[in-house]
Structure 1
């Protein structure tokens, strides 16, 4: 016998009239059942769908479990058509064609496919029944199987330094933990405690994590670098029952402390990151948690790919339904020089207080080193510290005085003390008596006479002082390509506050980067805008209202040369090489005269700032660090 297929189209009006067929001679339409099937598939609920074979509860449970690993990925199901087979005028079966669309990722590309469902006519009840088959939801899906989407990460980009040096790249690690499956339950607590003590983590917290994990779980304790600095031996791990050491790799810097506050770290995404990512980040994904790794996460990570497949109850993949290749991340190129940064960090490692060393190349503003110490301090003091700059700020005050008509040879008055609105300002203990009284402005800079620059700040007024600071790159918004602060000098100060501002106390603030930029601008003969990131290229910085001129820089340089020749930094004149210019600074920050110590210098195409939060004086505490740094670069 011949078989003829008849297809029923489904306009909206027809769907509203489902089940309204009349005349007992006309065969019932399968449209109503097919529409209920589309709704049931969309809702994962077959309670309203007439079924043959497995019951509604079984079908609902099976399909719910099968699609549960797909999570909350949006999915829509629509009915395309119903085709009824006619056999000698007595229809028995029909086929419903359905379209399913998954909004599988953040792009405009969806996962779309068609499936077919078999319908059978129950002649007693004149009802069309759906024969349940998981393949009506996903092609090829069988009972007891499930569908899952797996993220496929691309290769994470590196963070590069000067001349393409690999600062952060994939390096070997070991993941160490307790494998509960291979250990008797009674020994879980003792092994967890022993491992925690060996790798120096909280033993009580780790023991609780081990106890709470499943009986077959591997409970990671720590990830360690697998290099020459690894001090725990294989024998020590093997001596603890149940310890498992698994090799792996992570994006890491050359050492644990290398530029850590700047480069940042990579780890598993937090719940908050997953929620805020709009589906781009999944639990367990490795993401940037801090520093440049976090700031440039999208650049470094690229675009993850994915694979959608069918899996059996043993979690073995049966088939692949959909694949999207990942796009590897791009490198972030910085200006940091590995050897220069390593040297800077080595000079701060034993610092008893917050400290920093920043090196800037005056010719192009490249930040070659930005070290923050001591190593136990996670703060990015080098780029973000906000401290009174002390007498190093007198370079800015001197510039404002030059612009008011003074020259390095102008005779200024340097009394031992001066009174401003009832507040006494005096020179530092040990100020040379021979440099008191009438002296050239250049000598006031060389010997760091406070009373000259408090008076000078009052004479030029706050707007001119703030403008001079900006001309030296200090009082501007940073455009380094990383989180940075240069400095802040108000243009509204008066009286004692303005006098104190002139000697870098009062309400002036600067970072070590900012003060290195001051020295770099003088050495460059023009305002320097420091930068740390080359690619992706950061937005350009807005320059000062009054750029530093070559003549101004030359005058400042000549006075800063006298600081090294015979002034407060005369110990630096023994360092070989090109002439050094500089300025020391001490900023008392409490009533007990505890002080920040500063030194800024420039030699050739290098400008350096050293800061120590608790020091005995700029020349005494920061100066020797500068000397070791310059000598160490040779």
Structure 2
């Protein structure tokens, strides 16, 4: 009797085990089959999945045909809770697609039919998309929104949609004419490479329109009659986001045009043929904001449905499965003044070397013009240039000297030459003998006495120069600017001849025309100017802190924002009293110095400072020509890269600009 309980337990265990085996209906196998299917569909490859009623290879071809329009997107697919009924398992499949910035979610049901110990999937197109029938596929149409405008001061459009014509060969119109000959004639008419265009036309399909060039409708010299005289020649009206002229602020604004095949390929599905994309300048930096988001519609339709059949059908035979409402591009608001920018470009139009004019409003920091001349070859010299500033940097020297107790009336020594550690420094050609010897700081500043400022080097440390520069808004970050720029560089340490050179804006001291205008503007304001160009930099997620950029060695290339922005912060801000002394000396440059030609500029009194900086290894060396000025609530910097003396080269350009600006 003692063994009975143990025997009973064994019997009970055997009975329970038999019962469990009897209940093993293959649920685990069905669940594994469902997970395999979900994983395969997510990879868009069901070639290894066993099907009931469909060969795996054929099922895979149909799956890819169904989803081809959504390439390169792939779905995330998860299998849900299994339901079992007499050897048939039903499992929900939860799909999630990333379509643009939206998510398309839906659920279908997959069936699995038990066959021995296997659970092959019952083929059904509705497993891929709800209610999808055999012979149906998905289609996706995306419509790009209108690109946002770039606006200037007072919301005046700088870049907006303007009429253009796409000129090229429409191959169906060629008739019996030779395509290569027609393409060559068209290329010669519009000024593009004949061989390359002829090859492009010949390689295109028989129904293609092959554009040779896009011309502005206004003012074009190639006429419709000339185009039509060429077999297949056609001009198709269109519109594009364009500035007022082809060159208007191009280096600053960049351009917007149809995305190239290379850009589309690199976009990872973000771009499609026909999309407009920004290249260079603000157009590229704020492309996401300006471009907006596409409207997208995904439909189910009969495979092979032609455009003609669709046009003839009523109602539309396609079923809408998912829609994304597009968002038009957000305009970019800037401070650029249309008239002043155009004026600056007109003034620079005949200047051969790289050149720039920057004008800003000291009271607000608003950048009103940032023009780079034709000699800059597309480089944004105005904002990205890095050049020795020469004697305009004496504004910084003078602030440091004033902080050491000097006034415009203080005496300084201005010899004809001065030797520092074996290097001889002298004044510019034509320096007046009457302003040599013991002169006032104002007089030395007005006539730009190099030796007087170099003589002050023992009383003004390099660190004090750096501090004075940052006090005037130079060589610091510009968080409100909203565009790539170089704001200047002033080393905090330098000795001997390098420190002496810094006193006359050479050595390792570098400014851009923008930072030179900021420096002058801080004098006019009586406080550091923080420049501002873009008013809504965060509307599209662009980085408003992108304020530093590469050296001008890359002139002609599209600049990119440097990873190394100025790290310095402002020193003790220039005070109103300090600025008044500096303004007094800048006014003396006009009233008694060598910028007397500015005395006739109408309106508020002009204060100025000229600068000439040697560069290169030529003998005599080439020079950068600078001049900065303040005129009421306007601060202007003019720069010519290879320009002789600031007073004689940049000065007349400044006078022309200020006089016309009114």
TM-score for both structures, normalised by structure 1 = 0.87
Would the aligned equivalents of 1:164 and 1:333 in 2 still touch at CA under 8 Å? yes
Q: Find the counterpart in structure 1 of residue 106 from structure 2.
A: 113
- Identify which of 136, 150, 163 aligns with 1:159: 150
Would the aligned equivalents of 1:477 and 1:485 in 2 still touch at CA under 8 Å? no
Distance 2:182 2:221 in 1: 20
When structure 1 is superposed on structure 2, of 303-312 and 543-552 the one drifting more is 303-312
Please, which runs of 5 or more residues in structure 2 have no aligned partner?
1-19, 311-317, 539-543, 548-565
Change (3 A) 1:597 1:136: same
Q: CA deviation at 1:98?
A: 3.8
Please, which runs of 5 or more residues in structure 1 have no aligned partner?
1-19, 86-90
Task: Answer yes or no: is 1:203 the counterpart of 2:208.
Answer: no
Q: Find the counterpart in structure 2 of residue 554 from structure 1.
A: 580
Q: Find the counterpart in structure 2 of residue 102 from structure 1.
A: 96
Q: CA deviation at 1:222?
A: 2.1
Q: CA deviation at 1:519?
A: 1.2
Would the aligned equivalents of 2:94 and 2:107 in 1 still touch at CA under 8 Å? yes
When structure 1 is superposed on structure 2, of 524-533 and 148-157 the one drifting more is 148-157
Q: Find the counterpart in structure 1 of residue 601 from structure 2.
A: 575
Q: Find the counterpart in structure 2 of residue 565 from structure 1.
A: 591
Q: CA deviation at 1:287?
A: 2.2
Would the aligned equivalents of 1:158 and 1:169 in 2 still touch at CA under 8 Å? yes
Q: CA deviation at 1:236?
A: 1.6
- Identify which of 639, 644, 659 aligns with 1:611: 639
Q: Secondary structure of the equivalent of 2:506?
A: coil
Q: How does 1:617-628 map to 2 (within 5 A)?
A: 617-628=645-656
Distance 2:26 2:410 in 1: 112
Q: Secondary structure of the equivalent of 1:605?
A: coil
Task: Answer yes or no: is 1:146 the counterpart of 2:172.
Answer: no
| 1:369-395 Cα deviation digits (max 9, x unpaired) | 000001772100001111111111111
Q: Find the counterpart in structure 2 of residue 500 from structure 1.
A: 501
Task: Answer yes or no: is 1:285 the counterpart of 2:275.
Answer: yes
Distance 1:423 1:130 in 2: 89
| 1:471-509 Cα deviation digits (max 9, x unpaired) | 122222233110011211112111111111111122211
Q: How does 1:72-221 map to 2 (within 5 A)?
A: 72-78=72-78, 80=80, 96=90, 98-105=92-99, 110-116=103-109, 132-183=123-174, 187-221=178-212
Change (3 A) 1:247 1:364: same
Change (3 A) 1:518 1:50: closer
Distance 1:57 1:436 in 2: 95
Distance 1:420 1:28 in 2: 93
Q: Find the counterpart in structure 1 of residue 11 from structure 2.
A: none
Would the aligned equivalents of 2:468 and 2:571 in 1 still touch at CA under 8 Å? no
Q: Find the counterpart in structure 2 of residue 470 from structure 1.
A: 470
Change (3 A) 1:154 1:434: same
Q: How does 1:194-343 map to 2 (within 5 A)?
A: 194-226=185-217, 228-269=218-259, 279-282=269-272, 284-311=274-301, 312-316=303-307, 318-343=318-343
Distance 1:28 1:395 in 2: 86
Aligned length: 603
Change (3 A) 1:149 1:428: same
Would the aligned equivalents of 2:93 and 2:110 in 1 still touch at CA under 8 Å? no
Q: Secondary structure of the equivalent of 2:459?
A: helix
Q: Find the counterpart in structure 2 of residue 65 from structure 1.
A: 65
Distance 1:70 1:359 in 2: 50
Q: How does 1:584-603 map to 2 (within 5 A)?
A: 584-590=610-616, 591-603=619-631
Q: CA deviation at 1:567?
A: 0.9
| 1:47-68 Cα deviation digits (max 9, x unpaired) | 643433x644433323322222
When structure 1 is superposed on structure 2, of 162-171 and 237-246 the one drifting more is 237-246
Would the aligned equivalents of 2:30 and 2:89 in 1 still touch at CA under 8 Å? no
Q: Secondary structure of the equivalent of 1:532?
A: coil
Would the aligned equivalents of 2:413 and 2:455 in 1 still touch at CA under 8 Å? no
Distance 1:476 1:82 in 2: 64
When structure 1 is superposed on structure 2, of 178-187 and 560-569 the one drifting more is 178-187
TM-score for both structures, normalised by structure 2 = 0.83
Q: CA deviation at 1:113?
A: 2.5
Q: Find the counterpart in structure 2 of residue 5 from structure 1.
A: none
Q: Secondary structure of the equivalent of 1:198?
A: helix
Q: CA deviation at 1:438?
A: 1.5
Distance 2:349 2:132 in 1: 60
- Indicate the RMSD between aligned Cα atoms, in angstroms: 3.2
Change (3 A) 1:270 1:457: farther
Task: Answer yes or no: is 1:524 the counterpart of 2:525.
Answer: yes
Distance 1:290 1:533 in 2: 16
Q: CA deviation at 1:94?
A: 6.0
Distance 1:288 1:155 in 2: 13
Would the aligned equivalents of 1:595 and 1:617 in 2 still touch at CA under 8 Å? yes
Q: CA deviation at 1:352?
A: 0.6
Q: Secondary structure of the equivalent of 1:413?
A: strand
Distance 2:494 2:119 in 1: 87
Q: Find the counterpart in structure 1 of residue 557 from structure 2.
A: none
Q: How does 1:338-353 map to 2 (within 5 A)?
A: 338-353=338-353
Change (3 A) 1:77 1:435: closer
Q: Secondary structure of the equivalent of 1:110?
A: strand
Distance 1:41 1:423 in 2: 77
| 1:114-148 Cα deviation digits (max 9, x unpaired) | 345678899xx999886644333223444444323
Distance 2:252 2:322 in 1: 39
Q: Secondary structure of the equivalent of 2:178?
A: helix
